[in-house]
Amino acid sequence: MNPVAAFPHVFFLGIGGIGMSALARWFKANGHSVSGYDKTVTPLTEALAAEGIAIHYEDAVANIPAEVRQNRAQVLVILTPAIPQNHQEWAWLREQGYDIRKRSQVLGLLTQGRPTIAVAGTHGKTTTSSMVAHLLHHAGVPCAAFLGGIAVNLGSNLLLPPATAPAETTPVVVEADEYDRSFLTLFPTVAIVTSTDADHLDIYGHKDALVDSFRQFVGQIQPGGTLIINHTADPSVAAAAPVGVRVIRYGLSPEQGPELYADRITAQGHTFRFALHGPHGDVSALELAVPGHHNVENMLAAACVAQAYGLTPEQLRAAVAAYRGVKRRFEFIVTAGSPEQPNVYVDDYAHHPREIEAFLRSLRTLYPGRRLRVVFQPHLFSRTRDFAPGFAESLSIADEVVLLAIYPARELPMPGVTSELILSQITATEKSLQTKEEILRNAETNANFDVLATVGAGDIDQLVPRLKNILNIRWNGAEA
């Protein structure tokens, strides 16, 4: 019995979120009437509306569709944590006794009784889960996927299996989010843990509590299942795997003892070439067109899952070569100039010091000697407070750092917590605080950079199309 079949109507509070919109698409594709609220119009909400989903942007009970207001027992309400406590529609739905679930709870329902490949980690999970889904899909293995980003190959954050694929044997790939312990609604067949670095300390208080939640998640792997875990993760997490669960550690360096590793890693242009060595066999001459050593590492974990599902070395080589990444993950926006003197604009979602360090070091590897300007928007007051020194250290890899004001997301301002906390500790030669308009103006008038990167998880992506046009005119002599 489909656990959500009793709800012909589904209403989303925060439908424009990347994870929420994937669920909205799933319900729409499976015959439910779908509608929702979001705070602002975005390209994602516009895409959902074009797919036939009714969305409103003003918080008022009267804006809730009549079919939702008049059929309480037949409505499932799905809530994002970003909705504030004083939200009028949420308050009314609570008062009326609607069935209200978090996104993570609904993912738990949808994966019940299905083989589930859950990708967890404080960074790398969106890319790795998209890689798993792509490798299986490219090779013709029926699967479903709920992703935390728009996979370029799919053009979506949702992958639906063929209608003829039996649910009980068709794997579901899900991004398992540690925020608010959401991933504890999942009971995976295969779990990948990419990292257990400290994050979300506004929820957990300290890293030990975060690591404990990962231990609980790993403890929920199904009997006979598999844990694929980065060798840098806290050792206690792998130790929490139930008896009978196979544990496979992975990493780039065989000297550090992982069972799954890469060697012969070389970079040429944007392509990284490497060989995979692992428990399901070795595969040589893999070519990944999404750059960065961290992405080679992510692909190791994804490829291990694909091998377990029967992909041959030839299928794996073809699928890896065809992978084109996730929007806003090392996304090349503008490329110009010669191979010897390149000009490049790259956009990335990185919002944790470790992510930023991996991204910027990869840029340095790809473009040695080129002058690098980084524009970063800190995400959350609590994360800025907790990791300001780490942000400053990683950003200082650049020649010039420009900071935007903190993007608050779900948080209220905190006394004394501003972007200046990071700026004051940056050691790059040039650093400044700027508004979006100042950043655009300086891109037009200040040509003192060869490589530009915009980085962050807030609304910094609003700058991308305008910077793209400015740099296309400057570097290529024409608008995009």
Q: Which residues are annotated as a binding site for ATP?
A: 121-127
Residue 106, domain member (yes or no)? no
- Give pLDDT, residue 396: 97
CATH of the domain at 165: 3.40.1190.10
357 with 436, same domain: the answer is yes
CATH of the domain at 470: 3.90.190.20
CA distances from 100 to 48, 103, 302, 337 (A): 21, 10, 34, 53
262 with 157, same domain: the answer is yes
368 with 260, same domain: the answer is no
Q: Rounded to whole angstroms, how far apart are CA atoms 258 and 256? A: 6
Phi, psi of 437 (to 5 degrees): -65, -40
Residue 156, domain member (yes or no)? yes
Print pLDDT tens along the chain (480 aa).
577 888 999 999 999 988 899 999 999 999 999 999 999 898 889 999 999 999 999 999 999 999 999 999 999 999 988 788 889 999 999 999 999 999 888 999 999 989 999 999 988 889 999 999 999 999 999 999 999 889 999 999 999 999 899 988 999 999 988 777 788 999 999 999 999 875 655 665 677 888 999 999 999 999 999 999 999 999 999 999 999 999 999 999 787 779 999 999 998 878 999 999 999 999 999 999 998 888 999 999 999 999 999 999 999 999 999 999 998 888 999 999 888 899 999 999 898 898 899 899 989 988 999 999 999 999 999 999 999 999 999 999 999 999 999 999 878 899 999 999 999 999 999 999 999 999 999 999 988 899 999 999 889 999 999 999 999 999 987 765
CA distances from 346 to 11, 32, 129, 354, 404 (A): 36, 38, 22, 18, 17
- Give pLDDT, residue 26: 94
Residue 84, domain member (yes or no)? yes
Task: Using the 3D structure, point to which of 322, 345, 372 is the last residue of a domain.
Answer: 322
SS3 99: strand
282 with 368, same domain: the answer is no
- Give pLDDT, residue 200: 52
Range of the domain at 200: 111-322
Q: Rounded to whole angstroms, how far apart are CA atoms 241 and 43? A: 41
Greatest pairwise CA separation for the chain in angstroms: 65
54 with 192, same domain: the answer is no
383 with 298, same domain: the answer is no
- Give pLDDT, residue 68: 97
pTM of the model: 0.86
Task: Using the 3D structure, point to which of 297, 322, 347 is the last residue of a domain.
Answer: 322
Task: Using the 3D structure, point to which of 322, 341, 357 is the last residue of a domain.
Answer: 322
Q: Are 20 and 80 in contact (CB under 8 A)?
A: yes
Q: Rounded to whole angstroms, how far apart are CA atoms 69 and 93? A: 9
- Give pLDDT, residue 480: 56
Residue 1, domain member (yes or no)? no
77 with 196, same domain: the answer is no
Domain count, the chain: 3
Q: Identify the H or E element spanning 413.
A: none
Residue 3, domain member (yes or no)? no
SS3 239: helix
CA distances from 296 to 286, 320, 329 (A): 10, 10, 14
